[in-house]
A and B are shown apart, each in its own frame.
Chain A
Amino acid sequence: MLKINNIASGYGESQVLFDVSLSIPEGQIVSLVGSNAAGKTTLINTISGLNRVWSGSIEFLGEDITKTSPADRVELGLVQTPEGRRLFPDLSVKDNLLMGSYLKSVRGKREKNLKNAYDLFPRLYERRDQMAGSLSGGEQQMCAIARSLMTCPKLLILDEPSLGLAPILIMQVFEIIKDIQKENVTILLVEQNVQQALKLADKGYVLESGKVTMEGTGEFLLHDDGLRKAYLGM
């Protein structure tokens, strides 16, 4: 579904990503793990078009999107739930969700999607008129995921959805991710929560200092000694 071919990217003069290639098959959950500052966020922002590709190319659904604008990528079904939620703090919860269905192509399904979102997260329905900035961390994460689902994603990229959540909430989030996959949404999951992320994943990638150092099935990576030492402390 998504193919990344040897891309390089970075900020200003400093290069962050070096020759990164990965591919995400349709219908799967792919996890991307790596330590802080490995370049995970940089990579997915490059996929979403917020960062410029220096060299290499990105294909989505067989189409070259290397130079496509971020908005047009969303239109194609490539949707990101950014790190730190990035809700619109001074917009109500409901307005945030409605922003998710901003695109004309999904506006027709707005009512249905909104109902689904509220069904999935009843909490959000209760708080629909509250400013998003005043939600708790967990609620914000739910709102951010719900907002992305409003866009009818084909590929949903989640950047550290478990960040700052209590363990019980983390479990919940991972359950939800599984449910989303069942709705025929392909998922790229960026996580520091290596164990959980790899357990869930059909396929995993390890990114270190801007380079892919390991790839394989989730199961395979979980049993890799080097990875266990580095990320799981075992």
Chain B
Amino acid sequence: MKLLNNKIIRWAAFFLVLIIAGLVVDNNYYLDILITVVFYACMASAWNIVGGYAGQVSVGHVAFLGLGAYTSTILFLKLNITPLIGIFAGGIMAMVLALLIGFLTIRLRGPFFTLSTIAIAEILLVLAVRFHGLTGGSEGLNIPYRPSVYNFVFKSYFTYYMMFILLMIAIVAVISYINKSRTGFYLRAVREDETAASSLGVDVLRSKLTALLVSAFFTGVGGALYAQYLLFIDPHTVFTVSFSTKVAALSIVGGIGTVIGPIVGSFILTPLEIFLRSQLGGTYQGLYLLIYGVIMVSVILIIPKGIYGALSDAIKRRRKQVKNELSA
């Protein structure tokens, strides 16, 4: 019992269960579902660093994903640089873009920051279609199926699954680290009351920028990994704003501004989406996104802290009650 109270052990147990689940299913269909769930959990967690912790709502996060995916894929296809390096190059490119966006727009008030992130994603979408010499235009780019470590293409889905789990471990670790660090403290202060925080000497812009950079890096890495998994990218999948809204929805539904929230969101909504898509197929195009929308609106109206936020509040209240009863 005491063992489970330790955060690190709880996380280790969680990831162990995930890995075992991957070993047990041993069936590409279910592994694909697991990979998708973990991928979206990664993306939602990364988004949450800036959207949840820093309170800067980005709906153009897909720009980082797309840039990461294109960077590693183009490096591999044109220069034959192994995606092993390309993935990190993708993350770094995403950070460079984030730095640019950050310098330009992070000081804007909420909605205007959001609008500029959308604008930037849309601009990249058009550019990716336009410069087809480099990007393959709207046909996209295919990564040839030649499994090898250098090509970063694998026969077994389980290998990919492990890659995404590793990414998720890295994200969770970094978020936990930030949470304990000065930046995390600043971010919480800024979220509580920006004016008060800045008058107390918190460097608001710097904290937000740090959050944006970290978030962009992981999103870029995730994009590059995802490209290696799909072996195909095109502008309309990796630069579409609806990807960003979906990722934001996962965080909100799970619980914004918490480490666990986005993961909870992805583990609930992603399987639901896959299920609905397979059940409904093409007959009701868009139904699952409609349901996403309905869930998102309902959560904001009914439990604005999200599922995890509401649950942990309830547990805290219950604990307090028990404590009070015991002491009385």
> Does A touch B (CB under 8 Å) in the complex?
no
